[in-house]
Chains A and B, each alone.
Chain A
Amino acid sequence: MTTVDARPHDVRADLRTSFRSMASDITFWVVSPTDDAAAKAAAAREVVERVAASCTRFDASSALMQANAAGRQWHTVPSECFDAISAAYDAHVATGGLFDPRVLRVLSAYGYDTSLPFESRRLHLPENSGESPAGRRRGLRLRTWKPRLDAGRSAVRIGREPIDLGGIGKGLAVRWAADALRGAGESALVEAGGDLMALGGGPEGTGWMVAVENPLGGDEPAAVLRLRDRGCATSSIRVRSWTVGDTEVHHLIDPRTRRPAAADLRSVTVVGADPALAEVWSKSLFVVGRAGIRQAAESRGLAALWVDVDGRVGVSTLMRPHVAWQVSRVS
Chain B
Amino acid sequence: MTDRGTRVRWTTAALVAPTAAALFTGTTVWAAGHQPVSTTTATTTTSAAPVQATPTVDPAVAALRKSVATNSAQVAALRKTVAAIQAQAAAIAGGRSTGTTTSRATSTRRTSSTKIHSTSSSGSTHVSSGTKKPSGGSTTVSAPKPKPAPPTQTTTGASGAKP
Interface residues of A (CB under 8 A from B): 22-24, 27, 29, 51-52, 55-58, 115-116, 118-119, 165-167, 169-170, 189, 191-196, 202-203, 208-213, 215, 220-221, 224-225, 232-234, 236-240, 267, 269, 320, 323-331
Contacts and interface: CB of A to CB of B under 8 A. Distances in A.
Interface string B119-163: 000111111110000000000000000110111111111111111
Contacts of A202: 153
Contacts of A324: 129, 150
13 contacts: A24-B159, A195-B156, A195-B159, A209-B150, A209-B152, A213-B158, A221-B149, A221-B152, A267-B157, A320-B114, A327-B124, A327-B127, A331-B124
A24 B160 contact: yes
Contact of B163 (A27, A165, A189, A233): A165
B69 interface: no
B68 interface: no
Given A169-B163, A330-B124, A238 B157 contact: yes
A330 B151 CA distance: 18
A50 B122 CA distance: 47
B156 A213 contact: yes
Most chain A CB within 10 A, of B129, B152, B156, is at B156
B161 A27 contact: no
Contacts of B156: 194-196, 210-213, 225, 232-234, 269
B122 A166 contact: no
Residue of B125, B158, B163 contacting most chain A CB atoms (<10 Å): B163
Interface residues of B, number: 27
Nearest to B147: A325
Given A202-B153, A210-B156, 9 more contacts: A24-B160, A29-B154, A58-B163, A211-B152, A213-B156, A325-B128, A325-B150, A327-B125, A329-B125
Contacts of A167: 162
Contact of A331 (B114, B122, B155): B122
B87 interface: no
B162 A193 contact: yes
B7 to A, nearest CB: 121
A271 to B, nearest CB: 9
Contact of B157 (A118, A236, A325, A327): A236
A116 B161 contact: yes
A228 B154 CA distance: 13
B127 A323 contact: yes
A240 to B, nearest CB: 7
